[in-house]
Structure 1
Amino acid sequence: MKKSKLLLLSTLLATTISSAPLYANPTAEILANYSQAAEGDKAMVESVYNQLNVMIDQQGAKPLTMIYLGSTQTLQGRDAFLPWNKMKYTEKGLATMAKGIGLLDTLPEDINQQERIQGLPEAYLAQAMAAVTYTSLPDMFNHFDRGYDMYLNLLNHESFVQQPFAASAWIYHTGIVAALKADDLPQAQVWLDTMESLDAHNPLTQTAKSLVASQG
């Protein structure tokens, strides 16, 4: 009788574990597809949207997954023909991203204990994706300031500077683009100085240097 109870308990435990969400981050394939979508591939937008939804349904929602899903929904808004659909998809994307940002507190506080995605701790990549999405939206959605504040908090954080520059260069670059849009040339110069100190010959450093020089 005791063995039967133990066997039943073991079976129930195994079933619970196997059915529990894995809370996975987006795969390399999904991230590559997202890049194509962001660059204007409309068919890929729908593909990424479906891939992320399947992942969330099967494995649970992590901050990065939700932020990528929300950003993808804003791309649906970008590509929509009718103005009300642009609004609908974009606002839905902003709501999804807000949920993702709200989940950041569920990650380990120590970034060294977080999963690294594209060379960065997942919280850093999540914040960067939110920042670049917010600052890229049309002004009527009133999220630029929020996105720029995220850049200020992230890029000026001491531990972010210590991340591999090959992984973080694009975030400095997009942060500088946002700073120039905000007419904050001093901050753009500070971030450019950081880029040059880390790798002056990196193509993104050179591009950022040209952008800042054009505003001087």
Structure 2
Amino acid sequence: MKHTFLALAISLACGSALAAAAADNTAFIAARQQFAAASGGDASARDAAIEAFEKLSAGQPGNPVYLAYQGAGIAMRGRDAMMPWDKMKYAEKGADMVQKAVTLLAPEHDSLLVDGAPASILTRMVAANTLLALPDFMHRRADGKRALQGALESQVLAQAPAPLRASVFAAAARVASEEKRNADEIGYLRQAVATQAGTPQVAKAAARLKELGQ
């Protein structure tokens, strides 16, 4: 009888954990959709995304993905602000948050999956995209490049979903293009296309290769 109760308790605990994980994943997907809309300039979606990721981060303070997205949303608030001092305030706050998220990364985040993607790579890519988009006078480019390089060198990159791998290679190609490293740009573009992710980034990579005569 004791073993039966123990087995039941374990089963209920596992069921609760799985239900909580499923709920978090659903909330993450919804928040990321809001974030994507915010990236296109939707201010209401931006604020909704920030609030959603703040709640997710409060529920799982050790999950760097949620903190990174929250910081990226706040940096967007700086992008959209009217006053120069507000632009700087929000951009700096958001940048600090995404950099903090990167510092929280540990080996276990390679195996922690968020919507099927390694948390380590997701965190680094949110950080890279945020920091590399900031003006040069904010001196965040080097940190953005480090985050991107960490994603490129990750041992779990090959296991990441194709759209995420494509975004890593596309970002690396953009940096190489900005730095006039033509051979590197072509190499990363080819890797992006090879993912066959079927995303706009892959289509743009293919078009850019054609533009470069490849």
Report the TM-score, using the length of structure 1 for normalisation: 0.76
Q: Pick the aligned partner of 2:113 from 112, 115, 122.
A: 115
1:172 aligned partner: 169
1:76 aligned partner: 77
Distance 1:215 1:152 in 2: 24
> Considering only aligned residues, what root-mean-square deviation do their CA atoms show, in Å?
2.8
Displacement of 1:155 in angstroms is: 2.1
Displacement of 1:172 in angstroms is: 1.9
> Contact 1:67/1:129 (CA < 8 Å) preserved in 2?
yes
Q: 1:87 to 1:108 in 2, by over 3 A?
A: same
Distance 2:165 2:154 in 1: 13
Displacement of 1:99 in angstroms is: 1.7
Consecutive unaligned residues of structure 2, counting only runs of 5 or more, are 1-20
Q: 1:150 to 1:183 in 2, by over 3 A?
A: farther
1:133 aligned partner: 130
Displacement of 1:146 in angstroms is: 2.2
Q: 1:165 to 1:82 in 2, by over 3 A?
A: same
Q: 1:134 to 1:95 in 2, by over 3 A?
A: same
Distance 1:158 1:55 in 2: 27
1:95 aligned partner: 96
> Contact 1:124/1:154 (CA < 8 Å) preserved in 2?
yes
Displacement of 1:169 in angstroms is: 1.6
Consecutive unaligned residues of structure 1, counting only runs of 5 or more, are 1-21
2:15 aligned partner: none
Distance 1:87 1:42 in 2: 17
AA paired with 2:78? G
Distance 1:55 1:34 in 2: 14
Structure of greater Rg: 1
Q: 1:161 to 1:183 in 2, by over 3 A?
A: farther
AA paired with 2:184? Q
1:207 aligned partner: 204
Report the TM-score, using the length of structure 2 for normalisation: 0.77
Count matched residues.
192
1:4 aligned partner: none
Q: Pick the aligned partner of 1:150 from 136, 143, 147.
A: 147
- Percent of aligned positions that are identical: 23
Q: 1:201 to 1:66 in 2, by over 3 A?
A: closer
Distance 2:138 2:67 in 1: 19
> Contact 1:188/1:212 (CA < 8 Å) preserved in 2?
no
Displacement of 1:41 in angstroms is: 0.4
